[in-house]
Amino acid sequence: MELFVGRNDKLKYGLVNINKSGAIVGVFGERGIGKSSYVWQLLNLLSGNKDVASIFNIDIDGEKEKICFYIECTKRVKNLEDLLLEFIFRKHNEKATYSHISLNKIFRNLIQSINNTGIKTQLEYDLNYAEAKIKDNEKNEIDAIRLFLDLTDFLTKTLQKDLVFAIDEVEVVEDFTGIGDFLKKEQRNKDFLEPKVKYIFSGLPKAIEKLREDNDSAVRKIIPIPLDRLNKSDIFELFRNAVRTITNIYIDFTDQFIEKCFDFSDGYPPLVQSFGEYVIDSFNLGYINMEESIINYIDENIFSVIVKMVADNQKTLNADEFSKIRKKINTIGKVSIINNCIKHTGYFNIDTVTYNEENNVRRRINNSIRDINSLIDENVLEYVEGSSKLLRFVSPRFRFILKYGDYTGNSLTYENV
């Protein structure tokens, strides 16, 4: 439900700037402010998604559709070469071995769809060679920059479309050296008057500033887009337009509802998003007085209990230990809210069920717990910042209560919650 975290003016500003010659956009803001969702919305608009355009009342009919790529930096992305190879080749997940690596599906489909065998044969040869070297753990034998430029040059010339690469969580990258120089000296296609490859960087303010310092090119300077919290007007517009787009029903939300949403969320988009999800869930379940049900349903204390229990036990949590936690959860006595809380953390694939089917809910939770360790590993990101080892939760649905925490030893601190 990333449709509930956007900002009309910022999206318009992003579209205008990404269309500039040699555009590089830097999206920054504090944790939990909705940077990743903003990037996804921007990519949707650039790709021609009219549903997203309708929600934010943005006219994209005159926009030329672009081919968009997204990557979220993880702890294996150390430098520029790793970043470029990550775009070209993708592992199934963070813990996958090199034997699981393969050419990015989007690249593969584009190349296979282009009937230009002369260039295609050489490019595929280079890609296959690089893929084999990565699997042999010999990345140092690959000229990642040349390979990336050849690939993007081939696609832009053949498809006559701009490419947009979005790089999220850039603060994870340990060494920015070379990224600015790469952006400054990036190969230009001789057939075009301007670079056809555009970039969106997203991360914490100090990471974007560091990236800007390394990139002193006047031609390809980074255009900053700061994100802040949503105001009441933003929230009202989101609920009016997003709900109508998803359900095809117009609902006139009361001032009481918007006030409750604003007070609960404090303007943080992921919390507004949780309200949006409850609106849709309640609509699908046929609540007559949906607004009142939602207001009564939201209980930040129960959300906090669930999230904190998972966070405190993430290093050792297994099915047996969760049974102890479950007993504590059961004492709350609100199985339907428990189900929703767990579902919205993003750790579990629990389908929407009728909330009075208590046994069914418990069974679904039990079945989901079997994979909790791997699911948590996929949603928890560790990174080094200075001399500190930090931990953050990638999923906004989990992060809406526990914004972020310092990881020291085996414990989390909650000063910044």
- Give yes or no for residue 197 having a pLDDT over 60: yes
Sign of the CA dihedral with 326 first, then 329, 331, and 333 last: negative
Residue 63's CB is within 10 A of a number of other CB atoms, namely 15
What pLDDT does residue 226 have?
92
DSSP bridge partners of 390: 383, 406
Sort 394 into a burial class: Cβ within 10 Å, 0-12 / 13-18 / 19+: middle
- CATH 3.40.50.300 is the classification of domain 2-226: yes
How high is the pLDDT of residue 39? Answer: 92
> Whose CA is closest to 393, among 409, 410, 376, 415?
376
> What's the pLDDT tens digit per position in 284-293?
656 555 666 5
The domains of the chain are located at 2-226, 232-298, 304-351+359-412
H-type alpha helices, 97-199: 105-113, 117-135, 144-159, 179-185
- Rounded Cα gap, residues 339 and 417, in angstroms: 23
Q: Checking DSSP bridges between strand 405-408 and strand 411-412, what pairing results, if any?
A: antiparallel
Whole-number pLDDT of residue 116: 54
DSSP structure class, residue 41: H
Least Cα distance to 34 among 262, 249, 332, 270 occurs for 270
**pTM summary value:** 0.67
From the list 152, 154, 90, 97, the residue with the least C-alpha distance to 122 is 154
Long-range contacts of 51-56 (CB under 8 A, 24+ apart): 51/245, 52/3, 54/241, 54/245, 55/3, 55/6, 55/238, 55/241, 55/242, 55/245, 56/6, 56/8, 56/11, 56/241
pLDDT digits (tens, 9 = 90+) for 224-263: 899 988 888 888 888 888 877 777 777 778 888 888 788 7
Q: Is 171 exposed, middle or buried (0-12, 13-18, 19+ CB in 10 A)?
A: buried
